[in-house]
């Protein structure tokens, strides 16, 4: 998943924007990136702030990075969405597999905020 995706996604349940991104693992690719800055028009996922508040946007660096594993968190409804193998799994509650969510939470329990581990929504 590219950091820039944070600029265009919201919680599929409550529509809150922006989602909080916590990166567990990432890969950097050697790419020649030529983009007009800022690449993101509203929110910079790499700097985790609104573009209007960021003095210098590191778009060239950001676009070379893929988030391999991490978590997206909605601060409003406390739902969370895992990022596995570079793909954000943003499914509604009734389509998620509880066993996969539990395995993910166990695997990254040391990196996931306590409020998510203790107060997660019933899936």
Q: Is the pLDDT of residue 123 over 50?
A: no
What's the predicted TM-score (pTM) here? 0.90
Position with higher pLDDT, 5 vs 119 = 5
Q: Over pLDDT 70: what percentage of the chain?
A: 96
Q: Is the pLDDT of residue 62 over 60?
A: yes
pLDDT for 115 equals 86
Question: If 0-12 CB within 10 Å is exposed, 13-18 middle and 19+ buried, where does residue 19 land?
Answer: buried
Domain boundaries, the chain: 3-119
- 99/97 Cα distance (integer angstroms): 6
Per-residue pLDDT reduced to its tens digit, 25-52: 999 998 777 778 899 999 999 999 999 9
Which CATH number applies to 3-119? 2.20.25
Average pLDDT value for the chain:
92
- 18/8 Cα distance (integer angstroms): 8
């Amino acid at each position: 998943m590219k950091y820039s995706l944070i600029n265009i996604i919201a919680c599929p349940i409550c529509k809150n924007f922006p989602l909080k991104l916590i990166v567990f693992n990432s890969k950097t690719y050697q790419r020649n990136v030529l983009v007009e800055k800022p690449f993101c028009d509203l929110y910079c996922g790499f700097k985790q702030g609104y573009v209007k508040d960021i003095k210098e946007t590191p778009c060239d660096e950001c676009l070379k990075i893929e988030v391999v594993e991490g978590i997206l968190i909605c601060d409003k409804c406390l739902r969370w969405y895992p990022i596995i193998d570079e793909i954000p799994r943003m499914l509604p509650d009734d389509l998620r597999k509880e066993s996969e969510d539990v395995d993910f939470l166990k695997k990254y329990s040391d990196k996931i905020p306590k409020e998510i581990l203790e107060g997660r929504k019933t899936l």
